[in-house]
A and B are shown apart, each in its own frame.
Chain A
Amino acid sequence: MNARFHLYHYASPATFYPLAGKLIPVFAALAVVFGLAGLYLGLLVAPTDFQQGEGYRIIFIHVPASWMSMFIYLVMAFWAAIGLAFNTRLSGMMATALAPTGALMAFLSLWTGALWGKPMWGAWWVWDARLTSELILLFLYIGFIALQSAIDDPRRADKAGGVLLLVGVVNVPVIYFSVKWWNTLHQGASVSLTQSPSMATTMLWGMLLMALCFWMYSIAVALMRVRTILLERERHTEWVKEMLAGETK
């Protein structure tokens, strides 16, 4: 019960704003530490892959970016559900703050995937089920951002975005399986990421560290963005006015 109380306490914008401000440096520092360790292992220590040569090192950012792009969408849907169910203001803002980062992660996943695919598969793009689903995920992010930016009233933007996210999250598995099925029916060149041989421990650690780095980065960036959104939305409240008056430029 105690934890619950705290959660409600921090769900109030006036307490969340300074708390987020304190947390951002923590997550940013963690992102840098994990990132440096991951890059050290991934780029400097990890041995050459006997099939893919040095080109495989792209997966140290490709896989974390793909994971984050999917995970962020789920987190956004989670906040959307909370926001619609309990009518909390902050949850909608969290979803809004996460969306650009999720879209960038999806883009990075496609970009690094193309750069990995060209030497490995001989093509920048293949209509592989995972690539196609990732592309559709990017479309879903763009749709969410476009919808929210077309709505002037922030409360309506939050709720409409929330409905879209929930519809999207129900559809994501359907889309994924239909694309997968479509892919097996139209099998041209049979390529699959899953065939890659079992990874050496250093590679696995490097990838995990990079994934942690991307995760911490996403949290830090989302908190930074949500603080600006909070200021704009709550500009007529006392706490924002006090804060602005107290803050020296």
Chain B
Amino acid sequence: MIHWNSFADFLAMGGYAGYVWGSFGATALILILEPLFIIRRRKETISRLKRQMRAELASSSRNSVE
């Protein structure tokens, strides 16, 4: 089933190693980094909104006339 005779053959990609692994590597990098960035931004957003909410609660309890 497997087309390659050895792992070294697989890595060499018939002389096209730089091109093939350059493509797959860049794709893998982007497809992994993009979700990580989104998750980080989501965490930042949640903690910022929580902080804002606490600040609002604090200020509304102080001047409860409003």
Query: Could you mark each residue 122-157 of chain A with 1 if its beta carbon is under 8 Å from any beta carbon of chain B, else 0?
Result: 000000000000000000000000000000000000
Assembly CA distance A167 to B23 (angstroms) = 32
Q: Is the interface of B mostly helix, strand, loop or mixed?
A: helix
Assembly CA distance A45 to B52 (angstroms) = 54
Chain A: minimal CB distance from B13 (Å): 4
Query: Could you mark each residue 40-68 of chain A with 1 if its beta carbon is under 8 Å from any beta carbon of chain B, else 0?
Result: 00011111100001110110011001000
**CB of A173 within 8 Å of the partner chain:** no
**CB of A34 within 8 Å of the partner chain:** no
Number of A-B contacts (CB under 8 A): 94
Q: Using A112-B26, A112-B27, A119-B19 as known contacts, say yes or no to A221 and B2 having CB atoms under 8 A apart.
A: no
Pairwise interchain contact A55-B49, C-beta atoms closer than 8 A: no
On chain A, the number of residues with a Cβ less than 8 Å from chain B's Cβ atoms is 42
**CB of A91 within 8 Å of the partner chain:** no
Select one of A46, A58, A101, A225 contacting B20, CB under 8 A.
A58
Pairwise interchain contact B53-A115, C-beta atoms closer than 8 A: no
Assembly CA distance A28 to B32 (angstroms) = 12
Assembly CA distance A119 to B19 (angstroms) = 8
Pairwise interchain contact B2-A44, C-beta atoms closer than 8 A: yes
**CB of B1 within 8 Å of the partner chain:** yes
Pairwise interchain contact A55-B16, C-beta atoms closer than 8 A: yes
In the complex, what residues of B have CB within 8 A of residue A119's CB? 16, 19
Assembly CA distance A55 to B18 (angstroms) = 9
Assembly CA distance A104 to B13 (angstroms) = 26
Pairwise interchain contact A53-B30, C-beta atoms closer than 8 A: no
In the complex, what residues of A have CB within 8 A of residue B14's CB? 48, 53-55
Query: Could you mark each residue 11-45 of chain A with 1 if its beta carbon is under 8 Å from any beta carbon of chain B, else 0?
Result: 00000000000000000100000000000000111
Pairwise interchain contact B22-A108, C-beta atoms closer than 8 A: no
Q: List 13 A-B contacts (CB under 8 A).
A: A43-B24, A44-B10, A53-B16, A57-B16, A61-B24, A104-B34, A115-B19, A115-B22, A119-B16, A220-B35, A224-B42, A231-B42, A231-B45
Would you list the 6 A-B pairs with minimal beta carbon distance, nearest first? A54-B14, A55-B16, A112-B23, A54-B13, A228-B42, A115-B19
Residues of A within 8 A of B (CB): 28, 43-48, 53-55, 57-58, 61-62, 65, 100-101, 104, 107-108, 111-112, 115-116, 118-119, 217, 220-221, 224-225, 227-228, 231-232, 235, 240-241, 244-245, 247, 249
Residues of B within 8 A of A (CB): 1-4, 10, 13-16, 19-20, 22-24, 26-27, 30-31, 34-35, 38-39, 41-42, 45-47, 49-50, 52-53
